[in-house]
Amino acid sequence: MIVDAGDRPHGNAVDNANTIVLREPLPREATQWMNSKNQSRQPLLGFVRTDDGCLALGELYQAESIYRGMNLYTGEQASLAFAKLTWAERLPPGLLDKVLPTPALPVPGIDWLDDVPRNLTGALRSFLTAWYADVPVPPAAPPHAAMRLPAPLLAFYDIAAGREEILGQQDFIKPLDRLEYLQDEPLVIFANENQGVWWALIDPTDDDPVVWYDGGPERLRERERLSGFLLQFALTEAVSTSPFTGFATVTAEVLDRFVEDLVPVPLQPMRVPGDPTRHWVAPGLVAMAADYGESGIWLSVGSRQRSVSVRELWLPVAGAGESA
């Protein structure tokens, strides 16, 4: 299998240091050929065509496949719609740059950090506007609340109007029309974890209320009030759901080395997903470290643009359990 060098996020190309991605439309012959290789247990060898010739990747392994039109009765596979193929040895940065060149594009800055000490809602607006600048903003009616709500939460809904991505894809800020009071208490449930591990509560009559987590043995108070929580929520979502992400379980020493050139977000650590959870930023990049005690520190990074240079940052944790 030979793919051309180049950055094609929506086409057939090298996707990262040890992955090729194939996307439809693909010739039916390609499906039949790959199936025959799998059935005969013959190796599938990968190459990347460059200006200097073909770079050998080694034997490819089919990590993920999606087929369109499979016959549920016979099990016959129709056309291959998507495939993720991996190989054993990760390409070093120099070769990866050669087979996956990326254009230098403007990236979101971090000037919004200057507003954190005095205007958290302004910092949130600046961060989200820049981070999701590539997401179209369709016309949307101004948000209207059926109950009194704190100004930071109303501002969050105003920023997110027409862009559901901002409300969360890993965890969620509830849509404005789905806010509800907690039974038997004058508290509003405004956010929740994706599997129901926790849900977040506020007193809607407070200007910048305390955030409480419910769902565990006892109710837990978040360190930052609502305005700080909303910024931290946005940063966590940026790490977890961006198109380009990486993850590793690291020691405290490795974490310290990794964040040396990043700027810490000057807020108290969050209690979720691990306690403590801290954030750092650089232009176009957000990093998060969640401490799970004996399970280690989970370090994650996210960017919406492939052109953000994170390979140099990622080198210190190579071999520490990185997943992407």
**Residues 199-243: tens digit of each pLDDT:** 999 999 999 999 999 998 999 999 999 999 999 999 999 999 998
**Residues 261-280: tens digit of each pLDDT:** 999 999 999 999 999 999 99
pTM of the full structure: 0.78
**What integer pLDDT is reported at residue 74 of this predicted model?**
61
Rounded distance between C-alpha atoms, residue 137 and residue 135, angstroms: 6
**What integer pLDDT is reported at residue 72 of this predicted model?**
55
Rounded distance between C-alpha atoms, residue 23 and residue 83, angstroms: 7
Rounded distance between C-alpha atoms, residue 48 and residue 50, angstroms: 6
Closest residue by Cα to residue 107 from 1, 298, 296, 244: 244
Instruction: Work out the pLDDT band at 70, boundaries 50, 70, 90.
Output: low
Phi then psi for 147, rounded to 5 degrees? -140, 165
Q: For residue 17, is pLDDT > 60?
A: yes
**Is the separation of the CB atoms in 251 and 296 below 8 Å?**
yes
Work out the mean pLDDT of the chain and round it to a whole number: 89
**What integer pLDDT is reported at residue 86 of this predicted model?**
95
Of the listed ranges 3-12, 48-57, 67-76, 237-246, the one predicted with least confidence: 67-76
**What integer pLDDT is reported at residue 317 of this predicted model?**
44
